[in-house]
Structure 1
Amino acid sequence: MTDFILVAGAWLGAWAWDEVAADLRAAGHEVHALTLSGLAEKKELPAGQQIHVQDIVDEVERLDLRDVVLVGHSYSGVPVGQAAERIGDRLRRVVFVDSNLPADGVSFLDAFPSDHIRAALAEQDGVWPLLAPAAYANQDLTDEQIARLVGEGTPHPAATLTEPAVLKRPPAELPATYIKCVLDGRPPLPAVTEALEGGRWELVELNTGHWPMFSRPRDLARILNEAATRG
């Protein structure tokens, strides 16, 4: 049995993991889906990238978890990668799901093609607005799943995207699995490619779009279950 902490990407809360969490629990694991500050039911709380890192660390310590697999999707790979370093020997493995990675002194926007995001932040007074339904096209999602993503999502706090990461060592030194969703249409970011070349990471390709917790929850749960056995 492994303790999983599942953290979804921009605009999403713990609700995004409902189907994946159910499958992992059926396999005998303890699962804790976490909503980050400023999103979903925590949308009124102050939010920043370092607050998000602390959200994750606090959850591990509050529950006194050991042998933890931290799972970060998309944006949340940045705070999850930092939290993985900070929880020390409580960590079993990190799983990055089609995600960005932290780099010391670098913000999410600095490490990602982000001119369109910066423009959106300037227009929307400090939040990254929800994507339009058309942005989810060709991502292996049903109309109902797209409606849920748009209808239940929360505009994403800007400070989480502009604050720099704080790390003592590169993520490539962590025991990790990287899940690349091939229908996303983008190759892995250079930081991901570099980390995979370091020898400690496992790459798993999943033939779906960028939101596999909706499009392929059972396949994603299977991969997470297998990652937990890697140690």
Structure 2
Amino acid sequence: MDAAEAQSRPRARLLASAGDSGWLADAARILRELGFVVDIDVGAPATDLAAEADLVLASAAAGVPSTLMHAWRTRGAVCAVVLPPGADAEAAAVRAPVTEAALLALLAGQHYVALSAREAAGIAPAIAAQTFGNPAFADELLQALVSSTRDDLAQLRHAGTDLETVRGVAHRLKASAHYVGCHALRRMAQRLEHAARDGDAATAAALTAIVAPTAARLLGLLASLPAADHSGHAAAK
């Protein structure tokens, strides 16, 4: 991962106390596989935590102020408390040990879209880079991406339990996301492709609940780009 990719990808902050950090390693590994850059704070004071985040997981013992969690939620972050094993579940909470299924359910339940504002801002430059600054070539690629993303989204929404269709759509969306520098979507689509290939219907359904709205977001962004923007110049009026 280069510096530009690391800068644009969604960030997850994992917050724990020194005596309640056993869930961190699994959570960090899963989130990295799903495309997040992961920052871990163990025993950090609250004054050090006011940083950008797309996902925040805080152990119940970490003592993160509710006002800070509210501030992250207001900025659009998915936030949850990590409870000890066997603890009664509550809204916006996951139990330790943290599993992929629990994290996917959390993300889908809070309507997470795996396309950050930073990645959205980089779509036009990514298309320009892919086409070497050639406006005609850029427009051809843009139209191809709009068409393929629209078709793939429609197929994904109607695929249901047809995992072979899901696998094919995920493979194509992975490629489209790569072309436009949307690394989180690429990683989610790749995980969806593997789940569908392996016949893991439950994981595929959970991932589809994230990938479909993300693809819809990408389609809207692509369709709204003025043609001349892909050459890096302002459109003539």
Q: Same fold (TM over 0.5)?
A: no
Task: Give the structure with the higher percent strand.
Answer: 1
Structure-1-length-normalised TM-score? 0.36
Structure-2-length-normalised TM-score? 0.35
